[in-house]
């Protein structure tokens, strides 16, 4: 469920790599997508957060980094065209 009133950009089509689907629990995926679309970009330092804020304003690619409850690090990546968002592992990148 998305908090549509808090969405900062369109996600487009949601896709997930096979490796991420196997490694990341479904609840963590849903939570990360909600955080990503609302502008909570996860485990970034201040410089990376500023880059995402710039990307949000300029219509560039958005990348978020999260850690699942089982410890798996994963990304949520929305392309600049906002037509596709991919959930993937760092090894998939």
Q: Average pLDDT across each block of 10 residues of the chain; the chain has 93 residues. List them in order.
A: 70 96 97 92 88 89 95 96 96 92
pLDDT of amino acid 6: 80
Residues 6+ apart with CB under 8 A from 76: 32, 33, 36, 42, 63, 64, 66, 85, 86, 87
Contact 63, 75 (CB under 8 A): yes
Does 1 reside within a domain? Answer: no
Does 23 reside within a domain? Answer: yes
Does 68 reside within a domain? Answer: yes
d(CA 4, CA 78): 17
Does 56 reside within a domain? Answer: yes
pTM score, two decimals? 0.89
Does 93 reside within a domain? Answer: no
pLDDT of amino acid 56: 87
Structurally, the chain folds into a number of domains equal to 1
Domain holding 36, by residue range, is 6-88
């Amino acid at each position: 469920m998305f908090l549509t009133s808090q969405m900062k950009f369109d996600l487009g089509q949601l896709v997930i790599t096979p490796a991420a689907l196997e490694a990341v629990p479904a609840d963590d995926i849903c939570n990360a997508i909600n955080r990503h679309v609302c502008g909570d970009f996860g485990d970034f330092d201040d410089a990376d957060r500023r880059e995402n804020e710039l990307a949000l304003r300029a219509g560039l690619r958005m990348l978020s980094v999260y850690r699942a409850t089982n410890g798996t690090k994963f990304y949520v990546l929305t392309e600049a065209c906002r037509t596709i968002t991919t959930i993937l592992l760092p090894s998939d990148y």
